Structure 1
């Protein structure tokens, strides 16, 4: 039996889809069906040239296109994402910001990406380009740039040890930050999930996590629904953590930035290696992994969207634990053979 081709209908024809946005931000979409892919592509490209090209009257610079894109998408994006996009539009588009998007070609974009790569990390360059590419796809949908992006770099995360966490807890004992550290290390909760929590979210040892405090485009903070559907969860906390939580009001009266700043000072005072507040989630994942807890449970407890997300973010944490376990084995092997 012949293998079905991509976009092939039961009839054997090929169907392709194209869309564009007009000056009012309305999306127009059309399907094209033909016996071959080449014919369908020709029909699609002809339609795009007739309708999409010039759908926005007058000149539109790259910065204007990005700002217009942000405006049209604002209602469906998180406040923190909008804030990040605005930062890119205002500060990270040097080199192409004032160029008419109708004059863009792959060479111009490739040169710009190469210049960005000299100033920013691979991840940042990819984020900047992704926004510009999305704006171009909206306002010049017939343009298909060919750009090579910098290779992804695996982040070198630090995983706090049990001793690190003990020393940190000694340092923050009795201080507002103590609750945040406990919930991150033994929850494991994110900063944004900790800030909006109140005593009403705790029932016995079960903590309901269903909202997040995030930065808004104006520099303040808003409380919104959880980061993802999987972030909505009920977390059973150890009794020693529950005993430390306030019985009324806010569990941790600090916004995410306050948590970060207070945490950095606490790490320094405790004489610990520099690591981020978010690395306490790495500690929790590593600890559960070392105890032989299945990834599915770790994923559920931490609110990660999928096992692949968990592993892509925490692979080096698991590798670190593997090295620790290897060291224990090697030391035992050396002792067994008398080679101490």
Structure 2
């Protein structure tokens, strides 16, 4: 069996159980590797259906172990894959077909009005399509080796809100039912956590964060247990926030998307840069770091597993804090040099 080179791929054609298969590799395979790929096909159930059929089967058998949000996302991705690709027989699937589909997806216009990719679907979304496609193929066509070229990722430069910007958001939201959501965001809660936390999670000033509001196939549902052990945490909140939560009963009686939409509305009204609700977590990390709080405590309060995010945030430290630190250093230099 000879592997023939086609572009960046090596292909071996083989008749198995009366059907012709194209075994694709991203490198020149050895004899043992080809034989193993053939054994995998022979030991697998006969492949007769289309990619769409196997993708639906994959979602079905994985439903009990996937989160409702992931299941909903997979179904949405499948709906938006081209009909030609969905109707391709799984046995006829090739690495070239996958690359072609990804190329077409990367050229689509984004339905969102704001984008950093010339109006196109973001590289991150293209990567999500490829991850789903490759996962399905890996389960039902383990012989097919993919080496897909994806769009270069766009590096996100976080905007760490300044004290003045945070205060402006708190002032404009004061007295509204959004105020508590933003105050909890400053304590490094995610939007999904803000919408799920209740007064029952409060013991004095200690707030336990263990739930989140997520979007499933039938709408929003409360996930009673966080995805990671680190995300389940207990933090100290100030008296004002604690009293607001007792009075309101819930962090926010609405959806996570509504919080973000309102945040952007306030930013427009105030004339301050747009930043995400998630960037309030960065604000907390930067603020706590500037106060000299050890990273281990910051990580525990925010539910971060590693210090990777914290280091990224510190590199984009709040400008007002940065200037204060530089002035402090200049003052010290002045004192020791005179």
Fold equivalence (TM over 0.5)? yes
Q: Tell me how far apart the structure 1 counterparts of residues 178 and 326 of structure 2 sit (CA, whole Å).
A: 39
Matched-pair contact (CA < 8 Å) for 2:162–2:320: no
Partner of 1:319: 315
Over residues 240-285 of structure 1, what are the superposed CA-to-partner deviations in whole Å (9 max), with x where a residue is unaligned?
A: 3224333473243222223223333232233322222222112111
Could you give the per-residue CA deviations for residues 112-139 of structure 1, whole angstroms, max 9, x where no partner exists?
Answer: 2233233322111111100110100111
Q: Kindly provide the CA deviation profile for residues 141-169 of structure 1, in whole angstroms up to 9, marking residues without a partner as x.
A: 12112222223332122221100011111
Q: Distance in 2 between matches of 1:221 and 1:69?
A: 23
Q: CA RMSD in A?
A: 2.8
1: distance between equivalents of 2:306 and 2:100? Answer: 36
Find out whether 1:48 has 2:40 as its counterpart.
yes
- Deviation, 1:57, is 4.8
CA distance in 2 between partners of 1:48 and 1:207 (Å): 52
User: Does 2:94 align with 1:100?
Assistant: no
Q: Which runs of 5+ in 1 are unaligned?
A: 1-37
What residue is the counterpart of 2:249 in the other structure? Answer: 249
Of the structure 1 ranges 261-270 and 78-87, higher mean CA displacement relative to structure 2 is found in 261-270
Distance 1:193 1:115 in 2: 36
**Deviating more after overlay: 280-289 vs 266-275:** 266-275
1:333, 1:223 → 2: CA distance? 48
Q: Distance in 2 between matches of 1:238 and 1:223?
A: 26
- Give the total of aligned pairs: 293
1: CA distance between counterparts of 2:302 and 2:161?
17
SS at match of 2:88: coil
Offset at 1:102?
1.6
Instruction: Within 5 Å, give how 1:262-277 maps onto structure 2.
Output: 262-277=262-277
Residue number in structure 2 paired with 1:117: 106
**Structure 2 matches for 1:32-47, cutoff 5 A?**
41=33, 44-47=36-39
Query: What's the counterpart of residue 161 of structure 1?
Result: 162
TM-score (normalizing by structure 2): 0.77
Q: Is the 8 A contact 1:56 1:139 kept in 2?
A: no
Structure 2: 5+ residue runs without aligned partners?
1-29, 109-120
C-alpha contact 2:286 2:318 (8 A) present in aligned 1? no
Matches within 5 A, 1:136-285: 136-185=137-186, 187-247=187-247, 249-285=249-285
Mean Cα deviation higher: 256-265 or 201-210: 256-265
The equivalent residue for 2:116 is none
